[in-house]
Structure 1
Amino acid sequence: MTKLSVNINKIATLRNSRGGNVPNLLKFAEDIERFGGQGITIHPRPDERHIKYQDARDLVSVVKTEFNIEGNPIQSFIDLVLETKPTQVTLVPDAIDALTSNAGWDTIKHQSFLQEVVQEFQQNGIRTSIFIGTDLKLVEAAAKTGSDRIELYTEDFAAQFNIGNKEAIKPYTTAAVLAHTLGLGINAGHDLSLDNIQFFKENIPNLAEVSIGHSLIVESLYLGIENVVNMYLHRLQ
């Protein structure tokens, strides 16, 4: 079964909007696990506009499943990951002012840098994953960094699926097959939802994990968080 890791950035955004501790981010993470979620994902950014660096520290003693920290490996992020030692770190090439993740790595151009970062995290017992598109040359270059996994950036698939173009899955299937052949584990995330997750799962062999935040939280406003978590789990079986 593909694991479901729930990104709780939006809960932090809601909390921060009032300046207090409602909703309680740590309690929410505990509840996600209690409802069946198999991981917690956070993506702290330098301006701490949603997840704060202290949240990452506090979640270490709360998360009992898999803890995944995403972000651009600037020095402050690297230091935070080495301090908290999550199960997995996902390297994302965000610009500092990016509203959300909007591109995967050029693993050819940045191969040397990624190799160094991956090695440092692995030496500290942290599984590594590289956020990437479906270009096969970039998948091959990702493998050369020594990374444990890639995370397929699924925004284009989701947008095309939404207008009825199911052929958009093909590059992702091809990239996943190649990645598996090269010894890479396969994660995926960005704009996956209850509408498209089952189709995506059925067409991506060896899909280890999906990280879902925005859509899952929006769907939960209508259907309730416990119900939505279990709806994803059912589709991922």
Structure 2
Amino acid sequence: MSDINIQKRVALISDSSGERGLGSLTSALASRGVAGEPTAGEGLANFTAALPLGLQQNTITSEGFVSWLASAQEQTSILNHPHFLLWNRRSEYLDDLAAVGIDVFDETTESVSRTHSLVYFNGEYAYSLSEATPTLASAATPAPEVPLLNTGALVLRAIGLISRSSEWAATSGLPLYLRIDLAEVEGEARPRLIAVDGIAPGLGLATSPDHAQMFAQAIAERVEFL
């Protein structure tokens, strides 16, 4: 019998088409004293926190999601923060980022040579999901090229700037989990931003056991004092 005293309960909100790899995540959380429980998102009052990880796009963009979020945040802590989620679900969020200096991909005038997805936990680069095999941020495997990481860092800073200018809650501008999609554009040295996804982002948890371990550690650190 395990001697781990599980005190924190975290709701991993997903629908039938949701994030793959939640089984690995729940195991990784349990080893850190956190009970991760997949749920459809109802009855959250007994959870320490709730994470929307696997929702369809039409659910996220519906007014029903806004109503659910208003109810859910009265029951528990929502991660990522509701202020960030309400901003991120709007198609205009890319305009906000462009307004503070982020180069956003224009599909009408630019051609993509390659795309990359950079995954961040608690504001730190964790790993990439690209057209090739996913790579971890470790000495054993190559990290993305410097321009990609620099652009990712600029996007994170821009989100922080927007959070302050919009007077979000203090922690809203530092998402627990985030995927930043970038494009290498033909003839351009600097990558372009395609999308920022902090609502059911597709974190590639099923592609490597290390991914679930890294995410579990970030969750445990964030909920420790909730």
TM-score tier (shorter): 0.3 to 0.5
Higher strand share: 2
Higher helix share: 1
Larger radius of gyration: 2
Give the TM-score normalised by the residue count of structure 2.
Answer: 0.38
Give the TM-score normalised by the residue count of structure 1.
Answer: 0.37
